[in-house]
Amino acid sequence: MEKKEIISKLPYCKPFLFVDEIIKIDEDGVEGEYTFDENLDFYKGHFKEKPITPGVILTEVMAQIGVVCLGIFLLNENFNSNISIALTSTNIEFLKPVFPNEKVVVVSKKIYFRFGKLKCEVSMKNQKNEIVCSGTISGMIA
Q: How many helices (H) and strands (E) in the chain?
A: 3, 6
Phi and psi torsions of 127, nearest 5°:
-70, -15
Catalytic site residues? 46
CA distance 139 to 116: 8
**What are the helix (H) ranges across the chain?**
3-8, 55-63, 70-75
CB 38 within 8 A of CB 101: yes
- What lies within 8 Å, CB to CB, of 29 at 6+ separation is 70, 107, 108, 109, 110, 120
